[in-house]
Amino acid sequence: MKKRLFALFLVLALAGGIVPLAALPASAAPAEDARLLDGATLVALGDSLTAMGSWCQTVAEELNMIGVNSGVGGDTSADALARFQRDVVNKNPDFVLIGLGTNDFIREGQGNTKPRVSLEQFRANLQTMIDGVKALDAVPILITAPYVRDNAYPPVSNYENVGGLNPALDAYIEVVRDLAKENKIGLIDIHKLCDNYALSEFLIADGVHLADLGNRVYADAIEEYLTANFRSDPDAPRVERPVAPDVEEGYWTKDFISFKAEDWIILKEGTVVITEEADGSISFANTTGLWPEAHYSPSLDKTIAVPVKNSYLTIDFVSEASMNMVLYLNGCTPTVAYDQNYVNLLPLIKAADPSLKTEDVGDLSPGQTVYCTLKLSDIIPGSMIREDGTVLLSGLKLYVVGTAGKKVTFREMSVTCPDPATLPQDPVYEDTVSLLPEAESRITVNQGNIDYTVNEDGSLTIARGQEGDLAWPSIYIDVNKQADLSDSPYLHMDFTCARGCANGFLYYTVDDGTERSVQLSQLGNGTVNDFTSDQHLYINLAEKLGITGTITVTRVLLSVYGNPGDALTWNTLAIAKMVKEAQPAPPSEPDDPSEDPNESTEEPSEDPAEESSGESAGEPAETSTDASTSEPTASIEPGEETSFPVGAIIGIVAGVVVVAAAVICTVLLRKKQKKG
């Protein structure tokens, strides 16, 4: 044992105290007094490589730890240091992973050769964080950033004086490595690991953020380091993870956002002022005149689960300033958005109320009041609806833009769930005109390197080619088919998109022969946002185009965005008609179908005076008789509600009168007897 410890000491000494990527001998084991991983809190402090990465969650789940993703997209080391108290200290960490630098070295603006954060300041910021983690009696671990694509941060001419984009980043990587040596703390050298992989596989198409492979490499490297240096207990209780709630039964309305200022996150302190107004509303005002953000991110167990069909979102606010907002779904939040489930709300609000005015950049113009009700089925893309037909509403990002001090005041932002018993049955559609090619001869490449195959079942698979830098390769399909939108007004889109994003255009002519076009994503989700996963949609094309007659679909453009090899399969692209409309929900039945719900279940009275006789004071009641049942019936106007048969009511009144008459007669008789 002593020889092993001596060997370990020698290795550490030669390496300057670093233990890169758990580079210990396979036979080495953590010290008996090493910290326990099970149940420990692991905080990941970083930029978008952390916020948009799944690796923190993966490590926490696989090592039975409590994972806290404290990444914020776009953060420099200075930004992360400014929120250190909130996002690290207040989380009571046992281990803190620090991964920064990708935004520090960026040189913004044409001809600018100065980085956002200088090397000296970057070093000082990281050192302050390391000292802060140690002061918490927690373990600091540094992470180097991966390479970036050579043209990821234009203009590339800004980096010529240092040899290019990645050489500029390398200088910051060396600072991270030096600090790990100087402080004798752990280092996860992702930058070095990138040498083992193709960058196009490690990163997504933007050349900066992690693809699935990158996330897995991060997780494996971190787990290797932690398990080599710290203890695990197979008998330790499993960490309980937050669980998304189920849909509550019945009809209900809930506030989606919180009207308490403490429940909102301001990324950069002092840039937004949040005020709880006396009338119960909540207002947001920026102090900078720029683009500050306010985030509402409830924990997973406090999200709202709601069925998409027939549910709706109600929004009521007054905007003195320009503003914009994004709705996050299915556990995705404004700061932790690694699964990309979000929807830009403003274009959808604008579509619901075309009278609203927007700026050139898409923000809502100031000085307007917004009140609208949005059906979730109209605003939630099909790919974001869960298998049970529900969606989780899990966050909101709010931008308050323009004049400092001007408010955006929310009076309501709620979601309403219908009674499941009232949900209609789905309509049934039938494809009439297929827009997919019958043979590859009808396909031509529009641009880029793209592979395509017409499959035996008639579906079409397209994939980004393995070579070429163009991120959006596309093909044209020669269609030249007529479609009568008065008879078949729907566009049926169905594709599977395991990796990458999809979009395209539909080209058509009407009477004058002029070719027009419409983007598929705008038809499908109302925005130019690309489709990022599977879709199965029926879209009222006639309504979207404002055409009720015949069109000629001349051609279709289909494109795929992503890494080389990313593919999607179009199962259906067709004009369709509805052959069965949505049906109202069937009426609810009584618990025992054999029982008449209107029939009284009370036992008959033994007192003849209380029996319903249909007569009052000896006079016959005015009733009609149904010959088929010989039961007295009463006429009820349409729309009038009754929960008790009218004949029974008349009988009860008659019975009461009879009893009252008998009582009166008895009293008078007794008085007469007393007088006698």
**pLDDT, tens digit, for every residue of 375-423?**
998 889 887 888 889 999 999 999 998 888 999 999 999 999 986 666 5
- pLDDT computed for residue 673 by the predictor: 41
> Which residues does 167 contact at the CB level (< 8 Å), separation at least 6?
159
The alpha carbons of the chain give a radius of gyration, in whole angstroms, of: 34
Q: Which residues of the chain have pLDDT under 70?
A: 1-28, 337-339, 419-425, 467-471, 498-500, 525-528, 533, 582-676
The residue type at 457: D
Pairwise CA distance, residues 272 & 262, whole Å: 13
Comparing CA positions, the residue from 85, 97, 99, 95 lying closest to residue 39 is: 95
The pLDDT score that the predictor gives to residue 475 is: 94
One-letter amino acid at 301 equals D
Q: Which of 475, 499, 497 is nearest to 562 (CA)?
A: 499
CA angle at 62 for the pair 57 and 64, rounded to the nearest 5°: 90
Q: Kindly list the distances between the CA atom of residue 435 and the CA atoms of 533, 553, 558, 592, in Å, as whole numbers in the listed order.
A: 21, 8, 11, 51
The pLDDT of residue 610 = 39
- For 152, 262, 474, the CA distances from 470, given in Å and listed in that order, are 13, 45, 10
> Position 275: which residue type?
T
Backbone phi, then psi, for 21, in 5-degree steps? 55, 40
What three-state secondary structure class fits 20? strand
CA distance 133 to 89: 8
Identify the three-state secondary structure at position 449: coil
Output DSSP code: residue 93.
-
Tokens of 161: 């004086």
Q: Phi/psi of residue 661, each to 5°?
A: -65, -40
Query: How many Å apart are CA 628 and CA 243, to the nearest integer?
Result: 59
Q: Rounded distance, CA 346 to CA 325, Å?
A: 6
Query: CB atoms < 10 A from the CB of 144, how many?
Result: 26
Beta bridge partners of 66: 41
Name the residue type at position 299: S
pLDDT value of position 338: 61
Tell me if 437 sits within 8 A of 279, measured CB to CB. Answer: no
- Bridge partners, residue 142, by sequence: 98, 187
CA dihedral 475, 481, 482, 486 (to 10 degrees): -50
The pTM for the full model equals: 0.65
The angle, 0 to 180 degrees and rounded to 10, between the axes of the packed helices 119-135 and 165-183 is 30
Whether residue 47 contacts residue 103, with contact meaning beta carbons closer than 8 Å, is answered with yes
What is the rounded CA–CA span in Å between residue 69 and residue 555?
46
CA atoms in the 13 A half-sphere facing the CB of 526:
18
Neighbours of 663 (CB within 10 A): 11
| Tokens (6 digits) for 45 | 């402090």
- List residues bridging with 43 in a β-sheet: 68, 96
List Cβ neighbours of 349 (8 Å cut-off, separation of 6 or more).
Answer: 315, 356, 364, 370, 372, 374
Q: Are 39 and 33 in contact (CB under 8 A)?
A: no
